[in-house]
């Protein structure tokens, strides 16, 4: 898996040959470093400046595709003209259209129930965050001692089991997070397809992500002839064909993109 900066001349030629490019980014671990608590993950001034510059260029459509709730994502990024996809794409704003997956609102009450049960069930675990995001929920344990990790996962699984067994919910995992999501055939890959469709001219897609939930986005982008970039140390099981080490290197690529 080549490092993107090492093969930038060939990648930049591919991007320059496209009439427009759809630039999409995960947020946590991609545009910002992974931090202990989700509310303190902030864009650097330079990354914000470069995203704003790219968003103002006619040749780019820029967006963020995240597991965060849409309102939270829009508030954190707060750059006009971007496409925002929250809750793994169950809700999208910008790029010419507002979208909520038609099946998702029916799960809100059940997710609120599960969140309430998890707040009670995990009350004794230090550093835990139960983040109820209306259409999904995430249990963060990045500030929790590693000795509690199995307990956290077991509690989420046991609490959600009746809903999972009934076919209503599914559990996904990431970096020190466990998520409970509606059992809908929808994720970041479908969200990327939706945003690209909304553009009207099928721009060449490029997607940057760092976690398991980004993998279907990588497949979607590469199947469309675009460029998928995994952020982190070399990982053998990623489907992305390019790699960067860190959000700092993502910022380097943003600067190079402004020069295309």
* 115 and 67 within one domain: no
Question: Can 26 be counted among the known catalytic residues?
Answer: yes
Q: CB pairs under 8 A, 24+ apart, for 230-239?
A: 230/1, 231/26, 231/29, 231/30, 232/29, 234/1, 238/1, 239/215
pLDDT in tens, 188-199: 999 999 999 999
* 213 and 84 within one domain: yes
Average the pLDDT over 140-166 and give the result: 96
* 191 and 90 within one domain: yes
Which residue among the candidates 26, 131, 210, 211 is catalytic per the annotation? 26
Closest CA to 16 of 64, 57, 65, 63: 57
pLDDT in tens, 57-86: 999 999 999 999 999 999 999 999 999 999
User: Which of 138, 154, 182 is the last residue before a domain boundary?
Assistant: 182
* 192 and 92 within one domain: yes
- pLDDT tops 80 at residue 96: no
* 198 and 152 within one domain: no
Q: pTM value? A: 0.95
């Amino acid at each position: 898996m080549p490092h993107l900066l090492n093969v930038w001349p060939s990648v930049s030629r591919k991007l320059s040959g496209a009439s427009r490019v759809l630039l999409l980014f995960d947020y946590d671990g991609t545009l910002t470093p992974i931090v202990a608590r989700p509310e303190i993950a902030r864009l650097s001034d330079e990354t914000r400046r470069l995203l704003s510059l790219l968003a103002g260029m006619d040749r780019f459509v820029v967006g963020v595709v995240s597991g965060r709730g849409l309102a939270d994502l829009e508030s954190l990024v707060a750059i006009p003209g971007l496409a925002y996809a929250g809750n793994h794409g169950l809700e999208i704003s910008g790029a010419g259209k507002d979208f909520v997956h038609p099946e998702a609102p029916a799960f809100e009450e059940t997710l609120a129930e599960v969140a309430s049960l998890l707040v009670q069930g995990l009350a004794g675990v230090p550093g835990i965050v139960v983040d109820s995001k209306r259409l999904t929920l995430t249990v963060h344990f990045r500030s929790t001692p590693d000795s509690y990790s199995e307990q956290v996962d077991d509690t989420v699984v046991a609490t959600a089991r009746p809903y999972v067994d009934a076919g209503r919910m599914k559990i996904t995992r990431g970096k020190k997070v466990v998520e409970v999501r509606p059992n809908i055939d929808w994720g970041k890959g479908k969200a990327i397809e939706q945003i690209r469709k909304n553009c009207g001219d099928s721009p060449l897609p490029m997607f940057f992500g760092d976690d398991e939930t980004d993998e279907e986005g990588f497949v979607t982008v590469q199947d469309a002839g675009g460029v998928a970039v995994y952020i982190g140390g070399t990982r053998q099981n990623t489907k992305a064909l390019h790699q960067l080490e860190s959000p700092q290197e993502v910022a380097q690529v943003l600067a190079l993109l402004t020069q295309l």
